[in-house]
Structure 1
Amino acid sequence: MSPRRASKEQPKESKNLGSRFAFKLSPKAQREILGIIFFLAGALALLTLLRVTRGTVGDLVANLLHALCGWGAYALPFLAFGAGVFLLRRGDDAATEIAWGRIFSGEVLFAVALALMHLLAAPTDPGAFAQRGEGGGFIGWALASAATYFLGVTPGIVVLIILGLLTLPALVGFSTAHLRAWSNTLAERAEHPERATPAPIKLPAPPRPKPDLTSLRREPAAPKTQPTINPPSVPAEPERAPAPASGARPTLGTKPPMKTATASQTILTPRNRARRKAPALPALDILDIASEAKYGETDANRKARLIEETLANFGIPAKVIEIHAGPTVTQFGLEPGFIERRGSDGQMRPRKVSVNRIAALQHDLELALAVAPIRIETPVPGKPIVGIEVPNQSVSVVSLRGVMEADAFKNKRKKNPLTIALGRDVSGASSVADLGSMPHLLIAGATGSGKSVCINAIIACLLFDNSPDDLRLIMVDPKRVELVNFNDIPHLLGPVVVNMEEVVPCLRWLTREMDNRFTLFAKEKVRNIDAFNEKMNKTNGDTMPYIVALIDELADLMLASPEETEKLLTRLAQMARATGIHLVIATQRPSVDVVTGLIKANFPSRISFAVTSSVDSRVVLDTMGAEKLLGKGDMLYMASDSSKLMRLQGCFVSDDELARLVHFWRDKAITDLRDIARDAPWKDVSNAKEGSDDDLIERAIGIVRQSDRTSISFLQRKLGIGYPRAARLMDQLEERGVVGADEGGGKSRGVLIQDKGAKHFDAADAPPTRPDSAAQKSNTLTRFADKFKARVKSK
């Protein structure tokens, strides 16, 4: 018997021993460990979604969450935070029971929200929309597709909303029992006002099923709680208060609502702090990946052999030693050979072939290669070779994403927030620049050569790397075609300027902003915006954003008000660099009356696309070459720190990519509760400009009264003002009855009120009403007749 009993009891002992070591942790420790795991998982998910930390695993998790939940992926980290905080703040005596009903209700509500987001976004292609990680992701797409397939769009939305509202009571733990208890409490308070204090003790009715599970363990505690609740007398209140704290009902009925409230408060604060410290910028996934064409090596070798043979036929020995295939052209590095020539001593000596002889054979090379035009660079900067640039048969598209993902762009972006992608050179290498060091950029080219695409690429680079707190934009688009699509981004200081009347006030406001910044720099004893922001970061002050003004057509501005525009642009270009204000100006008519000498001298960085003549190329680049470009993004770039031209193929960004970028910033502005600028700050400047003529009207009247006749040019010379302002003053003088009407033919106007001794104008001297033209003409004729009679008498 004993051996059998021993053999039967031995497994029980080993089982008890294993369970003793396996479940040695207390329930509190288990809850804390689980809460920490939830909290860490939420933090890692938030960092990967905000792209703060990058890696293979992080990108995989972020892409998976975006694909499944779309925009709802950003809510998952905060739900994990809430679960972690809830588990960490549970009491020692709290029962760790999982509310599966509430969890299921929350999941259903989350799925309904994803479906509604996908439906309300109304994408043209819901599947591709979900594949990009937008809307409600694949979960929202599946539910939305099912709802619209069986019910239709509008009934499906209504059913989803009703389903979400039905899950809310189960999620928050509210039922009809709560409603009846609340109504009974209000009725009892109305009937017995003296029982207003003990009435809240009747509310622990909802968690009745939970005490039934714990009452088996706490049977002795039940008799203590029931006698204390029954007596309604007031003296029993102090003795009854501590009893529910130790019992099961008060803890189950009061603590869960308090924990959910504190958890919701602790979720919002880290999100706001994270947004201020590291603003979420758009990912490069918004842009498309363009398949760049590969240039054939066999074709390059054939053309190199043709170049050598053509030059040899004209008696010029040369050899192609380098071949650089670019997206638009291929550059052949040609090394000139030697020619035997007789020297002064009569002996034959080898001499280098002149570079001018190679450049003179440009048309012969075009004929031999059957391409046009060919550009010859003599010499290639930094190399003892001649560069012959031959157009490719198939032009490859340079994607903006490819240049922004290059190491050159990433390294430059770490130091300069205003880094822009220009394109790829003739060797296929990425070319980037810093707008802050340019500091201003002039873009010129014929219609359809790629100016607007270049401006869009510059704007896209700035929007990818800067938040509205770091960068503000001013856009001027008189053509109303290209830049008006950016009206919804929060970076704009005001709506895109399309009226010519607002351009000069806009530039005048920008000049005042520059002066105000200089005043602030002098007060803080700093030199530029970088030093100012660095000082503000140390003292927790408000930093100053950069301002980039983009003007799509300079010719329209110069035609409307040339003197004012040239003066303001010149002053901004000379002084605005230190204040963080930069200009990007484009024009399709690079003539000397548009790109004047003052403007060109203050814009050292210039880009020229294909132009119609060598004269236009000289206006922009001070040299020929732009007339030989191929168009469609082919450009010559002259940097501010180099006089050599660089041939590039500009970056291409499509309208769909720009629409997605604008959509991202518009949604983020709504999420961050940021207002999009609807009123321009320079509207007050335009109103003040109209009233500023009142200061000159008195001086103009005093000057006009000292002469018999006057004109607009006369006012310009005497007051030192421009033509538009002098013309407005002349109209005001005519309205006040000081001068006569315009007689036409460029004649000067007669002065109706003359007082050669007066220097100031009294309003009482002017007639109350404007005289009619007949009276003015009669007065003029009378004076003319008197003068004629006086001359006749004198003779």
Structure 2
Amino acid sequence: MVGSVWAVIGWLALLAVGSALMWPRSSATAVREVPGVIDAIDLPARVIWVGGALLAAVVAFFNWLGRSRQKTGDTPMLAYDEPVAVAPAGHPDFAQAYPPDEVVDVDYSEHQPTLDEVELAVQGGDIPKPDLRIDADNPAPQVERAPEHPWRVPAINLLVDRTQEPSARIDNTHRAALIEKTLASFGVDSKVVQINQGPTVTQFGIEPGWEVKTRAVVEKDERGKSVLDRDGKPRQRVEEVSRTRVRVNQITALANDLALALAASTIRIEAPVPGKPVVGIEVPNHVASTVTLRSVMESPPFQRAVTRSKLALALGQGVTGEPIVADLTKMPHLLIAGSTGSGKSVCLNSIVACILMHATPADVRFVMVDPKRVELASFGVIPHLAFSSIVTEMDKVVGTLQAVIHEMETRYKKFATLAVRNIEGYNRNPKVSEPLPYWVVIIDELADLMMAAPFEVERQICRLAQLARATGIHLIVATQRPSVDVVTGLIKANFPTRIAFAMSSQVDSRTILDMAGAERLLGKGDMLFMPTDASKPRRIQGVYVSDQEIEKLVAFWGAQRLRSTIASYDHLLDEAKEALEAEAAADPVMEQARELALEHNRISTSLLQRRLRIGYPRAARIVDQLEQEGVVGPAEGGGSREVLTRSDEEPAEEPYD
């Protein structure tokens, strides 16, 4: 608006009109006094003023004329902010728009034009011209990039946006006064200083008081004689002897008495609350609130965590209502234990659903082992599965874990080639064309695996837990029987992060957490979360994911699986099977199995387990090997097999099956 003379004149006229409208009297006075001012100016000043105005007008006119010619000239001019699209030389659009005989590629590697040369070129002068020839047979090398996967993550509105159910009106002030009164009745001085109401329990922060010891002292006058009162008795005063804090053990020992006074089924005392100088008394609410997965995923802590890791997990809400978020890459393995109906399977479903909400198959792959056949069956059609199906057969579990171990060893070889330490460094390396995805191995029931093949399963799980973290392979193992023969000391040592749901006894709580407390949980998602960097567990109400939400999420990914292709790792299963068969062929107990088969008319897998003291997968492989050698016949459905070749030196014995 200020680039031309007419624009300047227009602005001045607009200023004059605006001044006349806003200040009419002052403008009229100024107009009446203008002739007097002009008459007062002498002639030389008038000439200078008029000449300067004319000179400025002439300069503005020539500038406007030069710009008009520049816009209508032969040389196109581009604005500074106008984008310029250039197709590479090897692109098909480039070859179609510009024939090879008309293309000129300017190489400024040896000559860069200066500003003076550019101005001379605009004025029509000659400048030194660089070599404009190109090599059409040898185009510039193109940088290879990994193909982009056409995966789309689901929107957050796929989950149910159900607000928390309002709990019944609780008079926490009355309950706090009742706690103080109950403790005082047992001689424990205390005061409630904090009240934190959560979705399941309300935490009362108790500050221990003082134990004051006093004594009665007879008052005496200056002469050392006792001072008498009106009745003629010596006057006494109470004097404080000592003041000590109330011990925490005095409060924790009254847990059952507090539960009786509060009419609560059970209470849990956390002494002290981490980071606070109070003792926490957790009293159950009359009505528990439901914590949805969407409410935790929309919280700021989860949004920050998901930007840093593809394995961010929304666990639930704490006793104060704050969202609890964890990162599986930092755990790095998770052990879950809980009795039937405590919320263990819902926790597994919520973990898988949370990862599916923000991770594509190019980022995360799952290996699911479900001996129950129904807990993880809903996720059988998602494209995130590393293998073609969920493992449900017990005789395939050992081969599946061995396939995961082979993948781990393969990744370590790739890391050694590029001299990187972990999967993050490998994926950031510019030499990598396709990043490696994370693997999450989920085992729903560890007790069934330990009963079938305790030695092989324990050895493979411990090997993965010790070495698989750097390769991006993480384990989530769940069990409903946390006994010492299932959760062995070697497994506990390699699973520092644990989640304990409601337990049936204090012994089970000590097995999973190394401390009591889980036997006092309420069930239905109430859990204790023990992270790696904490010395005490944290009480959480776990998130709830309904079957309808899981069906929508699985249908969303199942539709993309039909439209897109994803690489499968089933070849690892074949390699693991061949390795196990080779191991079975070289099994040191193979000869003993042959001798045992020749002593009986029929043998079974359980017979080999008892006589040779081996696990079920190993015994099953030996029976299959004996069938291939022609020693025993095929399976007949009863569990035992007929021995085809038998020694005639002694009579055959029937197995005790």
- TM bucket normalised to smaller: 0.5 to 0.7
Decide which of 514, 517, 539 is 1:647's aligned counterpart.
Answer: 539
Pairing 1:476-515 to 2, within 5 Å after superposition: 476-494=369-387, 495-515=389-409
Pairing 1:401-440 to 2, within 5 Å after superposition: 401-440=294-333
CA distance in 1, matches of 2:625, 2:395: 20
Decide which of 586, 592, 597 is 2:478's aligned counterpart.
Answer: 586
Decide which of 667, 675, 693 is 2:584's aligned counterpart.
Answer: 693
Work out whether 1:470 is the aligned partner of 2:363: yes
Offset of residue 481 of structure 1:
1.4
SS at match of 2:371: coil
Q: Which amino acid aligns with 1:595?
A: V
Work out whether 1:533 is the aligned partner of 2:427: yes
Q: Which amino acid aligns with 2:433?
A: G
Q: Which amino acid aligns with 2:584?
A: D
Decide which of 198, 210, 213 is 1:326's aligned counterpart.
Answer: 198
Work out whether 1:341 is the aligned partner of 2:232: no
Offset of residue 779 of structure 1:
10
CA distance in 1, matches of 2:314, 2:359: 14
CA distance in 2, matches of 1:678, 1:531: 23
Work out whether 1:384 is the aligned partner of 2:384: no
Structure 1, gaps ≥5 residues long: 1-35, 37-84, 90-272, 740-768, 781-795
Work out whether 1:459 is the aligned partner of 2:352: yes
CA distance in 1, matches of 2:542, 2:411: 34
SS at match of 1:285: helix
Q: Structure 1 residues 577 and 771 mapped into 2: Cα distance closer, same or farther (>3 Å)?
A: closer
Deviations 1:479-502 (A, max 9, x none): 111211111111101211111111
The answer (yes or no) to whether the contact 2:344–2:501 under 8 Å persists in 1 is yes
Deviations 1:593-645 (A, max 9, x none): 11111111100000000010001101100011101000000000000111211
Decide which of 442, 445, 451 is 1:550's aligned counterpart.
Answer: 442
Q: Structure 1 residues 488 and 524 mapped into 2: Cα distance closer, same or farther (>3 Å)?
A: same
Deviations 1:394-451 (A, max 9, x none): 1000010000000010111111111000000000000000000000000110111101
2:650 is matched with 777
SS at match of 1:465: coil
Q: Which amino acid aligns with 1:583?
A: L
Deviations 1:697-741 (A, max 9, x none): 7x9559999xx999999x99xx998675368558967997999xx
Q: Which amino acid aligns with 2:178?
A: L
The answer (yes or no) to whether the contact 1:701–1:738 under 8 Å persists in 2 is no
Q: Structure 1 residues 275 and 655 mapped into 2: Cα distance closer, same or farther (>3 Å)?
A: farther
CA distance in 1, matches of 2:358, 2:385: 15
Work out whether 1:311 is the aligned partner of 2:183: yes
CA distance in 2, matches of 1:517, 1:372: 52
1:290 is matched with 162
Work out whether 1:601 is the aligned partner of 2:493: yes
Deviations 1:571-597 (A, max 9, x none): 000110000000011111111111111
Pairing 1:509-524 to 2, within 5 Å after superposition: 509-524=403-418
Q: Which amino acid aligns with 1:669?
A: R
1:10 is matched with none
Pairing 1:718-737 to 2, within 5 Å after superposition: 725=618, 729=622
CA distance in 2, matches of 1:372, 1:520: 56
Pairing 1:129-148 to 2, within 5 Å after superposition: none
The answer (yes or no) to whether the contact 1:626–1:636 under 8 Å persists in 2 is yes
Q: Structure 1 residues 530 and 732 mapped into 2: Cα distance closer, same or farther (>3 Å)?
A: closer
Q: Which amino acid aligns with 1:280?
A: R
Offset of residue 461 of structure 1:
1.2
Q: Structure 1 residues 655 and 342 mapped into 2: Cα distance closer, same or farther (>3 Å)?
A: same
1:632 is matched with 524
The answer (yes or no) to whether the contact 1:669–1:676 under 8 Å persists in 2 is no
1:623 is matched with 515
Q: Which amino acid aligns with 1:629?
A: L
Q: Structure 1 residues 560 and 648 mapped into 2: Cα distance closer, same or farther (>3 Å)?
A: same
Q: Structure 1 residues 416 and 735 mapped into 2: Cα distance closer, same or farther (>3 Å)?
A: closer
Q: Structure 1 residues 513 and 463 mapped into 2: Cα distance closer, same or farther (>3 Å)?
A: same
Q: Structure 1 residues 676 and 337 mapped into 2: Cα distance closer, same or farther (>3 Å)?
A: same
Offset of residue 669 of structure 1:
2.5
Q: Structure 1 residues 695 and 408 mapped into 2: Cα distance closer, same or farther (>3 Å)?
A: same
The answer (yes or no) to whether the contact 1:701–1:733 under 8 Å persists in 2 is no
Offset of residue 688 of structure 1:
4.5
CA distance in 1, matches of 2:328, 2:304: 15
Offset of residue 280 of structure 1:
2.5
The answer (yes or no) to whether the contact 1:502–1:686 under 8 Å persists in 2 is no
The answer (yes or no) to whether the contact 2:372–2:392 under 8 Å persists in 1 is yes
SS at match of 1:449: coil
Q: Structure 1 residues 667 and 516 mapped into 2: Cα distance closer, same or farther (>3 Å)?
A: same
Offset of residue 296 of structure 1:
6.5
The answer (yes or no) to whether the contact 2:593–2:622 under 8 Å persists in 1 is no
Q: Structure 1 residues 323 and 295 mapped into 2: Cα distance closer, same or farther (>3 Å)?
A: farther
Deviations 1:181-220 (A, max 9, x none): xxxxxxxxxxxxxxxxxxxxxxxxxxxxxxxxxxxxxxxx
SS at match of 2:329: coil
Identity %: 50
Work out whether 1:281 is the aligned partner of 2:153: yes
Pairing 1:179-194 to 2, within 5 Å after superposition: none
SS at match of 1:515: helix
The answer (yes or no) to whether the contact 2:631–2:645 under 8 Å persists in 1 is no
The answer (yes or no) to whether the contact 1:488–1:676 under 8 Å persists in 2 is no
Q: Which amino acid aligns with 1:341?
A: K
Structure 2, gaps ≥5 residues long: 1-81, 83-92, 98-144, 216-238, 633-642
Deviations 1:143-183 (A, max 9, x none): xxxxxxxxxxxxxxxxxxxxxxxxxxxxxxxxxxxxxxxxx
Q: Which amino acid aligns with 2:311?
A: L
Q: Which amino acid aligns with 1:334?
A: I
1:363 is matched with 256
Deviations 1:534-553 (A, max 9, x none): 00xx3461110000011111
- Structure having greater relative contact order (Cα 8 Å, sep ≥ 6): 2
Pairing 1:38-437 to 2, within 5 Å after superposition: 276=148, 279-295=151-167, 299-341=171-213, 348-437=241-330
The answer (yes or no) to whether the contact 1:493–1:680 under 8 Å persists in 2 is no
Q: Which amino acid aligns with 1:694?
A: A
CA distance in 2, matches of 1:678, 1:486: 17
Offset of residue 382 of structure 1:
1.0
The answer (yes or no) to whether the contact 2:453–2:615 under 8 Å persists in 1 is no
SS at match of 1:559: helix
SS at match of 1:693: helix
CA distance in 1, matches of 2:153, 2:314: 17
The answer (yes or no) to whether the contact 1:328–1:392 under 8 Å persists in 2 is yes
Deviations 1:349-372 (A, max 9, x none): 111111111111111111111011
SS at match of 1:276: coil
Offset of residue 665 of structure 1:
1.0
Q: Structure 1 residues 433 and 278 mapped into 2: Cα distance closer, same or farther (>3 Å)?
A: farther
CA distance in 1, matches of 2:400, 2:594: 33
The answer (yes or no) to whether the contact 2:207–2:279 under 8 Å persists in 1 is yes
